[in-house]
A and B are shown apart, each in its own frame.
Chain A
Protein backbone atom coordinates (compact mmCIF):
# COMPACT_ATOMS: atom_id res chain seq x y z
CA UNK A 1 0.00 0.00 0.00
CA UNK A 2 0.96 3.63 -0.33
CA UNK A 3 3.00 5.79 2.01
CA UNK A 4 0.05 8.09 2.57
CA UNK A 5 -3.51 6.81 2.64
CA UNK A 6 -6.56 8.86 3.45
CA UNK A 7 -9.63 7.48 5.11
CA UNK A 8 -12.48 7.56 4.26
CA UNK A 9 -12.26 7.57 0.46
CA UNK A 10 -15.49 9.55 0.29
CA UNK A 11 -17.48 11.50 2.86
CA UNK A 12 -20.86 13.16 2.54
CA UNK A 13 -22.17 15.50 5.24
CA UNK A 14 -24.70 18.28 5.75
CA UNK A 15 -23.71 21.91 5.81
CA UNK A 16 -22.79 22.97 9.35
CA UNK A 17 -21.53 19.54 10.41
CA UNK A 18 -17.91 18.75 11.09
CA UNK A 19 -15.84 16.66 8.68
CA UNK A 20 -12.96 14.48 9.81
CA UNK A 21 -10.48 12.86 7.47
CA UNK A 22 -7.59 10.64 8.45
CA UNK A 23 -4.22 9.92 6.90
CA UNK A 24 -1.85 7.08 7.68
CA UNK A 25 1.73 6.71 6.53
CA UNK A 26 4.50 4.18 6.81
CA UNK A 27 7.94 5.78 7.11
CA UNK A 28 9.50 8.59 9.13
CA UNK A 29 8.61 12.04 7.88
CA UNK A 30 9.93 15.57 8.05
CA UNK A 31 6.48 17.09 7.88
CA UNK A 32 2.95 16.28 6.77
CA UNK A 33 0.79 18.58 4.71
CA UNK A 34 -2.85 18.72 3.73
CA UNK A 35 -3.99 19.97 0.34
CA UNK A 36 -7.34 20.61 -1.23
CA UNK A 37 -8.32 20.10 -4.88
CA UNK A 38 -11.46 21.34 -6.53
CA UNK A 39 -12.56 19.22 -9.47
CA UNK A 40 -10.25 19.60 -12.46
CA UNK A 41 -8.02 22.16 -10.77
CA UNK A 42 -4.59 22.27 -9.19
CA UNK A 43 -4.00 21.57 -5.52
CA UNK A 44 -4.06 24.28 -2.89
CA UNK A 45 -1.98 24.03 0.26
CA UNK A 46 -4.02 24.12 3.47
CA UNK A 47 -1.72 23.45 6.39
CA UNK A 48 1.68 21.99 7.27
CA UNK A 49 2.49 20.21 10.52
CA UNK A 50 6.04 19.29 11.42
CA UNK A 51 7.08 15.99 12.92
CA UNK A 52 7.71 17.62 16.30
CA UNK A 53 4.24 19.20 16.43
CA UNK A 54 1.08 17.49 17.65
CA UNK A 55 -1.69 19.89 16.70
CA UNK A 56 -2.15 22.92 14.50
CA UNK A 57 -5.06 25.24 13.73
CA UNK A 58 -5.87 27.46 10.78
CA UNK A 59 -9.30 29.07 10.73
CA UNK A 60 -11.86 26.25 10.63
CA UNK A 61 -9.13 23.65 10.11
CA UNK A 62 -7.56 21.56 12.85
CA UNK A 63 -4.80 19.10 12.10
CA UNK A 64 -3.33 16.56 14.49
CA UNK A 65 -0.26 14.40 14.08
CA UNK A 66 0.57 11.24 15.99
CA UNK A 67 4.03 10.09 14.94
CA UNK A 68 3.87 7.01 17.17
CA UNK A 69 0.83 5.80 15.21
CA UNK A 70 2.04 7.35 11.95
CA UNK A 71 -1.29 9.05 11.44
CA UNK A 72 -2.80 12.49 11.01
CA UNK A 73 -6.31 13.85 10.99
CA UNK A 74 -7.87 16.90 9.37
CA UNK A 75 -10.99 18.34 10.97
CA UNK A 76 -13.08 20.93 9.16
CA UNK A 77 -15.56 22.54 11.53
CA UNK A 78 -18.90 24.09 10.58
CA UNK A 79 -18.59 22.86 7.01
CA UNK A 80 -19.91 24.84 4.06
CA UNK A 81 -20.99 23.79 0.58
CA UNK A 82 -17.86 25.52 -0.72
CA UNK A 83 -15.73 23.00 1.21
CA UNK A 84 -16.78 20.34 -1.29
CA UNK A 85 -13.50 19.10 -2.80
CA UNK A 86 -10.93 16.33 -2.59
CA UNK A 87 -8.49 16.50 0.29
CA UNK A 88 -5.02 14.98 0.14
CA UNK A 89 -2.35 14.41 2.72
CA UNK A 90 1.25 14.57 1.60
CA UNK A 91 4.28 13.40 3.52
CA UNK A 92 7.61 15.12 3.04
CA UNK A 93 10.31 12.49 3.33
CA UNK A 94 13.33 14.54 2.44
CA UNK A 95 13.02 18.27 3.16
CA UNK A 96 11.13 19.19 0.03
CA UNK A 97 12.71 16.72 -2.34
CA UNK A 98 10.36 13.79 -1.98
CA UNK A 99 6.65 14.34 -1.43
CA UNK A 100 4.27 11.39 -1.37
CA UNK A 101 0.55 12.05 -1.79
CA UNK A 102 -2.25 9.77 -0.70
CA UNK A 103 -5.25 8.90 -2.93
CA UNK A 104 -7.42 11.54 -1.26
CA UNK A 105 -10.80 11.86 0.43
CA UNK A 106 -13.69 13.22 -1.63
CA UNK A 107 -15.78 15.44 0.60
CA UNK A 108 -19.30 16.45 -0.38
CA UNK A 109 -21.04 19.08 1.75
CA UNK A 110 -24.75 19.18 1.04
CA UNK A 111 -26.64 22.47 1.48
Chain B
Protein backbone atom coordinates (compact mmCIF):
# COMPACT_ATOMS: atom_id res chain seq x y z
CA UNK B 1 0.00 0.00 0.00
CA UNK B 2 1.02 3.59 -0.50
CA UNK B 3 2.23 5.82 2.32
CA UNK B 4 3.41 9.38 2.45
CA UNK B 5 5.84 10.78 4.97
CA UNK B 6 6.61 14.33 5.98
CA UNK B 7 9.20 15.63 8.37
CA UNK B 8 9.71 17.28 10.63
CA UNK B 9 6.29 17.30 12.29
CA UNK B 10 6.90 20.68 13.89
CA UNK B 11 9.54 23.32 13.38
CA UNK B 12 10.32 26.63 15.03
CA UNK B 13 12.68 28.82 13.04
CA UNK B 14 13.92 32.42 13.37
CA UNK B 15 13.19 34.99 10.69
CA UNK B 16 15.87 34.95 8.02
CA UNK B 17 16.89 31.34 8.57
CA UNK B 18 16.73 28.71 5.79
CA UNK B 19 14.07 26.02 5.48
CA UNK B 20 13.97 22.51 4.15
CA UNK B 21 10.87 20.33 4.44
CA UNK B 22 10.91 16.86 2.99
CA UNK B 23 8.15 14.65 1.66
CA UNK B 24 8.55 11.08 0.45
CA UNK B 25 6.04 8.66 -0.99
CA UNK B 26 6.21 4.87 -0.88
CA UNK B 27 4.35 2.25 -2.85
CA UNK B 28 3.68 4.14 -6.06
CA UNK B 29 5.57 5.28 -9.13
CA UNK B 30 5.57 8.58 -11.01
CA UNK B 31 3.01 10.28 -8.77
CA UNK B 32 1.94 13.90 -9.10
CA UNK B 33 3.24 15.67 -6.00
CA UNK B 34 1.91 18.79 -4.31
CA UNK B 35 2.89 21.27 -1.60
CA UNK B 36 0.11 23.20 0.14
CA UNK B 37 0.11 25.76 2.93
CA UNK B 38 -2.79 26.14 5.34
CA UNK B 39 -3.18 29.17 7.58
CA UNK B 40 -4.91 28.58 10.92
CA UNK B 41 -8.60 27.82 10.42
CA UNK B 42 -8.39 28.35 6.68
CA UNK B 43 -8.38 26.38 3.45
CA UNK B 44 -5.40 25.12 1.53
CA UNK B 45 -3.27 27.22 -0.76
CA UNK B 46 -1.50 25.30 -3.51
CA UNK B 47 2.17 26.31 -3.58
CA UNK B 48 3.84 23.91 -6.01
CA UNK B 49 3.04 20.79 -7.96
CA UNK B 50 5.21 18.38 -9.89
CA UNK B 51 4.35 15.84 -12.57
CA UNK B 52 7.85 14.35 -12.76
CA UNK B 53 11.49 14.55 -11.68
CA UNK B 54 12.81 18.06 -12.06
CA UNK B 55 9.41 19.39 -13.21
CA UNK B 56 8.03 22.02 -10.84
CA UNK B 57 5.09 24.36 -11.36
CA UNK B 58 4.67 27.30 -9.02
CA UNK B 59 1.21 28.60 -8.26
CA UNK B 60 2.06 31.52 -6.00
CA UNK B 61 5.13 33.77 -6.30
CA UNK B 62 6.95 33.95 -2.98
CA UNK B 63 10.26 33.27 -1.30
CA UNK B 64 9.70 29.51 -1.29
CA UNK B 65 10.99 27.01 -3.83
CA UNK B 66 10.46 23.32 -4.47
CA UNK B 67 12.55 20.56 -5.95
CA UNK B 68 11.97 16.96 -6.96
CA UNK B 69 15.34 15.24 -7.06
CA UNK B 70 13.86 11.74 -7.14
CA UNK B 71 10.57 10.28 -8.36
CA UNK B 72 9.07 9.98 -4.89
CA UNK B 73 10.79 12.84 -3.08
CA UNK B 74 9.53 16.41 -2.94
CA UNK B 75 11.35 19.14 -1.04
CA UNK B 76 10.14 22.59 -0.04
CA UNK B 77 12.85 25.16 0.66
CA UNK B 78 13.51 28.75 1.51
CA UNK B 79 16.76 30.67 1.74
CA UNK B 80 15.37 33.24 4.20
CA UNK B 81 12.14 32.70 6.12
CA UNK B 82 9.63 35.48 6.69
CA UNK B 83 7.12 35.77 9.55
CA UNK B 84 4.37 35.26 6.98
CA UNK B 85 5.77 31.82 6.12
CA UNK B 86 4.33 30.43 9.35
CA UNK B 87 1.63 27.85 8.75
CA UNK B 88 0.78 24.23 8.31
CA UNK B 89 2.50 22.69 5.28
CA UNK B 90 0.96 19.68 3.66
CA UNK B 91 2.42 17.41 1.02
CA UNK B 92 0.13 15.29 -1.14
CA UNK B 93 0.39 12.84 -3.99
CA UNK B 94 -2.05 11.79 -6.68
CA UNK B 95 -2.08 8.92 -9.10
CA UNK B 96 -4.19 8.15 -12.14
CA UNK B 97 -7.43 8.20 -10.17
CA UNK B 98 -7.03 11.94 -9.50
CA UNK B 99 -7.60 11.58 -5.76
CA UNK B 100 -5.08 13.32 -3.53
CA UNK B 101 -3.52 11.58 -0.54
CA UNK B 102 -2.10 13.83 2.11
CA UNK B 103 0.79 13.51 4.50
CA UNK B 104 0.48 14.34 8.21
CA UNK B 105 1.80 17.88 7.71
CA UNK B 106 4.53 20.06 9.16
CA UNK B 107 3.64 22.89 11.48
CA UNK B 108 6.09 25.76 10.95
CA UNK B 109 6.37 28.71 13.30
CA UNK B 110 8.65 31.55 12.26
CA UNK B 111 9.62 33.87 15.12
Residue ranges of A at the interface with B (Cβ–Cβ < 8 Å): 2, 4, 30-31, 33, 35, 40-45, 48, 88, 90, 92, 95-104, 106
* Residues of chain B having any CB pair with chain A under 8 Å: 32, 34, 36, 41-46, 49, 51, 57, 88, 90, 92, 94, 97-105, 107
Cα–Cα, bound, A35→B34 (Å): 16
Tell which of A31, A92, A102 touches B43, judged by Cβ atoms closer than 8 Å: A102
State the majority secondary structure of interface residues on B. Answer: strand
Give the tally of cross-chain contacts (CB within 8 A).
60
Residues of B within 8 A of A45 (CB): 99-101
Contacts of B57 in A (CB 8 A): 97
User: A97-B32, A97-B51 known; A44 and B98 CB under 8 Å?
Assistant: no
